[in-house]
Amino acid sequence: MTAETLPSDVTIHPIPAFTDNYIWCIHNNTNAIVVDPGDAEPVLSYLNTKGLTLSAVLITHHHQDHTGGISKLATAVPDLPIIGPRGNHIRGITKSVAQGDTVSLPILNLSFQVMEVPGHTLDHIAFFGHGALFCGDTLFSAGCGRLFEGSPEQMYHSLNKLKRLPDSTIVYCTHEYTQANVKFALAVEPDNKALNSYADWVAEKRSQNLPTLPSNLKEQKNINPFLRAHELSVKTTAEAYCENKLVDDVAVFAAVRRWKDEF
């Protein structure tokens, strides 16, 4: 088991990349780890400005917008540990990890548990430790990743795995998709009070160009339709959307995911 909170000297900062990616930088003002560096430039410039030494890279899945910066970072920092999914399909990974493995980063007094969460891709993993979850493109605020490789059933089980983490878990997603996700979530659950007030908060943040992330698991359980397939309100609109009875929560989840794809 890892500690429940971050060491007091550690902070987590979003480095914006491309149009809507965040490369999370975990640092103690001296050493840093980055998660999913799709682009090396913004990472190197942040490290440079802050005077940080890059100590490791964590990778959640193979997509280019999460891995594109690996080779440049590896060139800039000799012997850089790059930790990610097994399978040898991601160039530059120096250590592959799987479900149940612990990633130890003693330089920052951190350790993370690896969770396999297939769905968006089949290789997708998440890192959990110190009350923080780095979930890549599996869970977004008010949304979830598109099913590029996995089945709805796989994604449903992966999200359920994340749901079993403590409610206080801080959720660090890779994309600022929140506002569009909220718009869809409101179509699924127009009368969800928590969701309506969250929508106002998101609009306020985005109007100031501020991140809506991280979120926390308790909030997501209240507002995210992809974590709420068991709710009658979600089932009802999902059935109306597909003009069919939905037999179980997996079927509801699958229908909501399809609906979002067409929204």
Residues that bind Fe ion (CB under 5 A): 65, 137
Q: Please check whether residue 28 is in contact with residue 9, taking contact to mean a CB–CB distance below 8 angstroms.
A: yes
Q: Specify whether 137 is catalytic.
A: yes
Q: Please check whether residue 47 is in contact with residue 23, taking contact to mean a CB–CB distance below 8 angstroms.
A: no
Burial class for 150, CB neighbours closer than 10 Å (0-12, 13-18, 19+): buried
Tell me whether residue 66 or residue 235 sits nearer to Zn ion (CB atom): 66
Q: Specify whether 61 is catalytic.
A: yes
CB of 31 to Fe ion, least distance (A): 26
Interacting partner of 130 out of Zn ion, Fe ion, none (Cβ under 5 to 8 A depending on kind)? none
Tell me whether residue 143 or residue 251 sits nearer to Zn ion (CB atom): 143
The string over 12-37, giving b where at least 16 C-beta atoms fall within 10 Å of a residue's C-beta and e elsewhere, is bebbebeeebbbbbbbbeebbbbbbb
List phi, psi (to 5°) of 67.
-125, -10
- Told to check if 189 binds Zn ion by CB under 5 A, we report no
List phi, psi (to 5°) of 63.
-60, 145
Tell me whether residue 213 or residue 251 sits nearer to Zn ion (CB atom): 213
Other CB atoms within a 10 A radius of the CB of residue 131 amount to 17
Q: Specify whether 63 is catalytic.
A: yes
The interface with Zn ion within residues 47-66 (CB under 5 A) comprises 63
Q: Six-digit token pair at 263?
A: 């929204």
Tell me whether residue 28 or residue 121 sits nearer to Zn ion (CB atom): 121
Q: In terms of Cα–Cα distance, which of 193, 98, 102, 185 is closest to 140?
A: 185
Q: Specify whether 130 is catalytic.
A: no
Q: Specify whether 89 is catalytic.
A: no
- Told to check if 130 binds Zn ion by CB under 5 A, we report no
Tell me whether residue 55 or residue 143 sits nearer to Fe ion (CB atom): 143
Span of 44-52, 88-96, 131-139, 243-251 interacting with Zn ion by CB under 5 A: 131-139
Gap between the Cα atoms of 77 and 60, Å rounded: 20
CB of 63 to Zn ion, least distance (A): 4
**In a 3-state reduction of DSSP, which class is residue 61?**
coil
- Told to check if 137 binds Zn ion by CB under 5 A, we report yes
Interacting partner of 116 out of Zn ion, Fe ion, none (Cβ under 5 to 8 A depending on kind)? none
Interacting partner of 39 out of Fe ion, Zn ion, none (Cβ under 5 to 8 A depending on kind)? none
Gap between the Cα atoms of 259 and 263, Å rounded: 6
Active site residues: 61, 63, 65-66, 120, 137, 175
Q: Which residues bind Zn ion (CB under 5 A)?
A: 63, 137
